[in-house]
Structure 1
Amino acid sequence: MSEQRQIDVQNFIDEKSFSGYQILIFIFCFLIVAADGLDTVILGPLVPALMHDWGVTRMELAPVFTAALIGLAIGSMGGGILADKFGRRKVLIVSVFMFSIFSLASAFAGGVVEMTLLRFLTGIGLGAAMSNAVTLMSEYTPQRIRSRIVNTVFMGFVVGAWAGGYLAAWLVPHFGWHSLFYVGGLVPLALSFAMFLLPESPRFMVVQNWPQKKIARVLNKISPNSVTVNDKFTIVLPPQVDGKSALSVIFSEKYLFGTICLWITLFMGMVIFYFVTSWMPVIVKDAGFTLADGAKIMALYPLGGLIGGIVVGYFMDKFNPHKAIAASYLLGAIFIGAIGFGFHDLTVLSSLVFVAGMFMSSAQGSMPTLAAAFYPTVGRATGVSWMLGISRLGSILGAAGGSLVLGLGLSLNVVFILLAIPGVIAAIALMFKGGHMHRQQELLKQQTQAA
Structure 2
Amino acid sequence: MTSRLERLPLSKWQVKARVLIGTATFFDAFDALTIAQVLPVLVTAWGINGAQVGLLISVGYLGQLVGALFFSWIAERYGRIPAMVASIITFAIVSILCSFAWNFESLLIFRTIQGLGLGGQVPIAAVYISEMTKAHGRGKFVLVYELIFSVGVVAAGTVGLWIVPNLGWHYMFIIGAAPILMVYAIRTWLPESPRWLASKGRHQRADKSMSLIESKVEKATGQPLPEPAQSLIVPVQDKKTTWAELFRHPYLRRTLVVWIMWFAAYLVYYGIGTWLPTLYKTVFNLPLEESLRYGLISNAIGFVGAAVCAFTIDYVGRRKWFAFALTGTAVFLGILTLTGAKTPADVLIYGSGAYFFAAAVAIGLYLYTPELYPTRIRALGVGTATAWLRLASMAGPVIVGTLITFGLASVFAIFGVVALIAAAVVAIFALETKERVLEQLSP
If the TM-score is normalised by the length of the shorter chain, which range does it land in? 0.7 to 0.9
CA separation of 1:102 and 1:351: change in aligned 2, threshold 3 A? same
Separation (CA, whole Å) in 1 of partners of 2:76 and 2:235: 15
- Is contact 2:67-2:116 (8 Å) kept? yes
Tell me if structure 2 keeps the 8 A contact 1:205–1:215: no
Q: Is 1:320 matched with 2:312?
A: no
> Aligned pair in 2 of structure 1 residues 52, 345: CA closer, same or farther (>3 Å)?
closer
Q: AA paired with 1:249?
A: E
Distance 2:22 2:94 in 1: 21
Out of 108-117 and 334-343, give the one that drifted further: 334-343
What is the letter of the counterpart of residue 417 of structure 1? Answer: A
Residues 223 and 351 of structure 1: CA distance in aligned 2, closer, same or farther (over 3 Å): farther
The separation in 1 between residues aligned to 2:332 and 2:236, in whole angstroms, is 41
Shift of 1:48: 2.0
**Superposed displacement of residue 39, structure 1:** 0.8
3-state secondary structure, aligned to 2:413:
helix
The residue that corresponds to 1:367 in the other structure is 365
The answer to whether 1:273 aligns with 2:264 is no
1:296 aligned partner, one-letter code: R
2:216 partner letter: K
User: In 2 relative to 1, CA 215–15 (structure 1 residues): closer, same or farther, beyond 3 Å?
Assistant: closer
- Distance in 2 between residues matched to 1:108 and 1:330, nearest whole Å: 43
Answer yes or no: is 1:191 the counterpart of 2:182: yes
Contact (CA 8 Å) 1:342, 1:352: kept in 2 or not?
no
For residues 129-156 of structure 1, the C-alpha deviation after alignment (integer angstroms, 9 at most, x for no partner) is: 0101111111111211111121222222
Say whether the 8 Å CA contact 1:336–1:417 is kept in structure 2: yes
Q: In the aligned structure 1, how far is the partner of 2:233 from the partner of 2:111?
A: 40
2:13 alignment partner, SS class? helix
Question: Partners in 2 of 1:15 and 1:99 — Cα distance?
Answer: 36
Number of the residue aligned with 1:104: 96
Pairing 1:3-152 to 2, within 5 Å after superposition? 9-152=1-144
Mapping 1:280-429, distance limit 5 Å: 280-285=276-281, 286-339=283-336, 341=339, 349-406=347-404, 408-410=405-407, 412-429=408-425
Change (3 A) 1:194 1:348: farther
The one-letter amino acid of 1:258's match is R
Deviation per residue, 1:279-329 (Å, 9 max, x gap): 111211221322222222223334323333343244432343111111011
Q: C-alpha displacement at 1:342, in angstroms?
A: 9.1
SS at match of 2:133: coil
Question: Which residue is equivalent to 1:434?
Answer: 430
Structure 2 portions without partners, runs of 5+: 226-231, 435-439
Query: In structure 1, what is the Cα distance between the partners aligned to 2:193 and 2:70?
Result: 19
Alpha-carbon offset, residue 74 of structure 1: 0.7
Contact 2:371 2:433 in 1 (8 A): no
Alignment partners' CA distance in 1, 2:146 and 2:431? 25
* TM-score (structure 1 length as normaliser): 0.86
Q: CA deviation at 1:362?
A: 0.7
User: Does the aligned pair in 2 maintain the 1:44–1:281 contact within 8 Å?
Assistant: yes
Residue type of the partner of 1:190? L
Deviation at 1:274, TM superposition (A): 1.8
Residue 168 of structure 1 deviates from its aligned partner by: 1.6
CA distance in 2, matches of 1:235, 1:248: 27
Q: Residue 134 of structure 1 aligns to a residue in which SS?
A: helix
Separation (CA, whole Å) in 1 of partners of 2:156 and 2:218: 38
CA 1:165–1:134: 2 relative to 1, 3 Å = same
- Cα gap change, 1:375 to 1:238, in 2 (>3 Å): farther
Deviates more, 1:63-72 or 1:346-355: 346-355
1:437 Cα deviation from its structure 2 partner: 9.3
Answer yes or no: is the 8 Å Cα contact 2:2–2:233 preserved in 1. Answer: yes
TM-aligned CA distance change 1:171 to 1:346, over 3 Å:
same
In structure 2, the residue matched to 1:448 is none
CA distance in 1, matches of 2:63, 2:195: 29
Between the aligned partners of 2:161 and 2:260, the Cα distance in structure 1 is 34
Aligned length in residues: 422
Distance 1:436 1:89, change over 3 A: closer
Work out the CA distance in 1 between the residues paired with 2:214 and 2:103: 50
The correspondence for 2:197, drawn from 197, 205, 210, is 205
Q: How far did residue 235 of structure 1 move?
A: 6.7
Say whether the 8 Å CA contact 1:249–1:255 is kept in structure 2: yes
Is this contact kept in 1: 2:54–2:398, CA < 8 A? yes
**How far, CA to CA, are the matches of 1:257 and 1:160 in structure 2?**
33
**Range with greater deviation from structure 2 (256-265 or 289-298):** 289-298
Distance verdict in 2 for CA 1:298–1:287, change over 3 Å:
same
The one-letter code of the counterpart of 1:305 is G
Q: Deviations over 1:258-295 (max 9, x none)?
A: 10111111111111112212211121122132222222
Specify every segment of 5 or more residues in structure 1 that has no aligned partner in the other structure, as ranges. 1-8, 228-233, 439-443, 445-451
- Which piece of structure 1 moves more, 206-215 or 106-115? 206-215
1:41-66 CA-partner distances (Å, limit 9, x unpaired): 11122222112221221223433223
Residue 166 (1) aligns with residue 163 (2): no
Q: Which residues of 2 match residues 180-259 of structure 1 at below 5 A? A: 180-185=172-177, 187-196=178-187, 197-208=189-200, 209=202, 210-211=204-205, 212-224=207-219, 236=234, 242-259=238-255
Could you tell me the percent identity over the aligned residues?
Answer: 23
User: How far did residue 251 of structure 1 move?
Assistant: 2.3
Listed one character per residue, the Cα deviations across residues 63-83 of structure 1 (whole Å, up to 9, x for unaligned) are 322321111001111111211
Amino acid in structure 1 at the alignment position of 2:334: G
2:437 corresponds in structure 1 to: none
